[in-house]
Structure 1
Amino acid sequence: MECAVVVATVGGPWLADQLTALAAQEMPPTEVIVVNNGAPGAIDETAAAFRGLLPQLTVREDNTRRGAAYARNVGAGAAAAPGILFVDDDDVISTNYVAEMGLALDRADLVSARIRLDMLNPPRLTRGWEGLHESGPMDYFDFLPWTFGGALGCRREVFERTGGFDPDLLTTEDVDFCWRAQLDHGVAFAYVPEATVNYRLRAEPGAAFRQSLAWGEGQAGLYRRYRDRGLRAPSQLRAAARWARSAQLLLSARNRIDLAVAARHAGSRVGRLRGSVRYRCLFL
């Protein structure tokens, strides 16, 4: 299946790495749509440098609403290909990515790539993420499978039928999209281990904490949204073990990488607590 690739960005420092990977694809995408959701002109210089390497590249600027969900919807709405692949601006896809994901979309409505952490991250930073996406889509919530928005592909009709990503969600919009597609539309979800996303973790403690804080709060919102459809909150024992693990990581940290790992764990815990208050539910 021919595919368009949608890249949501605010002009981050690694966009050129992802565009380089797109230019090196064994089977080039029919369209590459980069949606600048940040300051006007933030990616003009980077995009101009790739005009020769990616003649199918177009840039859309739209910060009417902020967030990856809104930006991805803008990009998908501008795409004409029957398949849509969403990638993030701070990751790097394998050279066979478009070919393998497009082939998978000939058979399935919704597809998830494999995620690798060893290419872009020092080994100590990946603690707690071992085995991520190695044998299938994420099952972190012990509910329905899902995948990160940067490793997701779908058929155009599926995107349109589900209404796209929910722009009210600033995080976990990818989880919500995958679950709505399965619950409301009976979409078949396939795993594509041949297609790889090299995923970049936050290596600075402050950035890691802020990202996980937002994720944790969003997870509580997901629970509020899906608890009547089968999503269960972690047991008190499991929640306590996670808090203890966060404390252990913080106390044993010896360098900035250790602190980033501890901050990632702590941010998730604090975020879930804050989300439980915000959404008036208990999801720790």
Structure 2
Amino acid sequence: MSTTLEQYVPGDVATTLVAVATTPRISVIMPVYNGEDTIAVQLEALASQTFDGAWELIVADNGSTDGTRTAARRYAGRLPLHLIDASRVRGAAHARNVGASHARAPLLAFVDADDEVAPGWLASIVTALDMHPVVASKFDKNRLNPPALRGSRRLAQEVGLGAHDYADFLPHASGSGLAIQRSVHAAIGGFDESLLRLQDTDYCWRAQLAGFSLHFEHTALVHYRFRTSTSRSIAQAFLYGRYDGHLYNRYAKKGMRHVSLWRDLRVIAERTIGVVMSRTSAIRAKRGRLLANRVGIVVGRLESLRSK
């Protein structure tokens, strides 16, 4: 199946010809599905980057049915934009892989359409990739999220690399703000498109098991956006739990420990007591969201065991 490519480069015709002929230093890849409501924030942030070298932005549309493509085209005059169709297989992993296959640069960076890179992010990522094969960005949860959500969600990359829940295994990073040398991406086979969640965790683990280190770059800041809908947050937690089982089946022989169901149930019991004992409605709501998230994860893990 051929992939539709729309290419836009800022400037006049002469500038465009030079820009297209110049090999970019880095390709920034943005997978997106129905991101009309948030993509402009990320595109604006990318258009404001002050990186001196040549670069390109590949927006890989995973079959959007809203105005995502129209929103992206509005930035055609301000960004070295390539808008491609990546809808053959549903999922961010497929969109990232399709985007990477169209990339012309030796360095790759992945961003999400609902987050916002901070000023200087691109330059920091390029500098870090000159020294490290795989680079994770630092996260901030304050800019894009209301106070109630900030206090009820954990975000590991505010301070360092993520650690898999309860499992003493390799560190990992979110796909948002994750960057990699293109040769390493090819060596590990790209993202696993069979995983609808935790494909970034799997990607980081495969890179490290192949001998490539994962570096946390504190100067490359990404403002991270949480899901605001409680139902969508629980659904996401369920899928995390479900695919956690897939990862265990894949990595148990390499040292990943099994997540204790009893420990999960103890956490649920503790959080339930916390909700009941809350003195204010705000605290109760915060603890309730933490409880709902944990229940979603546990139910997902149980589902993965049932379908094993």
* TM-score, normalised by the number of residues in structure 1: 0.90
> Which range moved further: 264-273 or 72-81?
264-273
Residue 114 (1) aligns with residue 138 (2): yes
Structure 2 equivalent of residue 282 of structure 1: none
Distance 1:202 1:76, change over 3 A: same
Q: Any unmatched runs of 5+ in structure 2?
A: 1-23
Query: What is the CA-CA distance between 1:53 and the residue it aligns to?
Result: 1.5
Residue 127 of structure 1 contacts residue 261 of structure 1 at CA under 8 Å; is this kept in 2? no
SS of 1:201's equivalent in the other structure is coil
Question: What is the match of residue 216 of structure 1?
Answer: 241
Give the C-alpha shift of residue 40 in structure 1. 6.0
| Aligned twin of 1:205 | 230
State the distance in 2 between where 1:199 and 1:248 align.
30
1:9 is matched with which residue? 32
The code of the aligned residue for 1:155 comes to Q
1:177 aligns with 2:203: yes
Q: Contact between 2:141 and 2:224, CA under 8 Å: does it hold in 1? A: yes
Name the CA distance, whole Å, in 2 between partners of 1:202 and 1:246.
21
Residue 138 of structure 2 aligns with an amino acid whose one-letter code is: R
Instruction: Give the RMSD, CA atoms, in angstroms.
Output: 2.2
In 2, distance between residues paired with 1:208 and 1:78? 32
* Offset of residue 147 of structure 1: 0.2
Letter aligned with residue 37 of structure 1 = N
- Aligned partner of 1:24 in structure 2 is 48
**After TM superposition, what 4+ stretches of structure 1 lie above 6 angstroms from structure 2?**
none
**Aligned twin of 2:302:** 273
Query: What is the identity percentage for the equivalent residue pairs of Structure 1 and Structure 2?
Result: 34
CA distance in structure 2 between the partners assigned to 1:69 and 1:173 by the alignment = 7
| 2:75 maps to 1:50 | yes
Q: 1:272 to 1:236 in 2, by over 3 A?
A: closer
Aligned residues: 277
Q: For residue 250 of structure 1, report the CA deviation from its aligned partner.
A: 5.7
1:38 counterpart = 2:63: yes
Contact residue 3 and residue 82 of structure 1 kept, 8 A: yes
CA deviation profile, 1:215-269 (whole Å, cap 9, x unmatched): 1111111111111110002335522222224534665594696454443232112
* CA separation of 1:124 and 1:35: change in aligned 2, threshold 3 A: same
Give the Å deviation of 1:42: 4.2
2:254 aligned residue (229, 248, 255): 229
Q: 1:191 and 2:216 equivalent?
A: yes
Alpha-carbon distance change, 276 to 243 in structure 1, aligned in 2, over 3 angstroms: farther
Alignment partners' CA distance in 1, 2:260 and 2:289 = 26
Indicate how the Cα distance of structure 1 residues 231 and 99 shifts in structure 2: closer, same or farther if over 3 A, else same: same
**8 Å contact kept, 1:176–1:222:** yes
TM-score (norm 2): 0.83
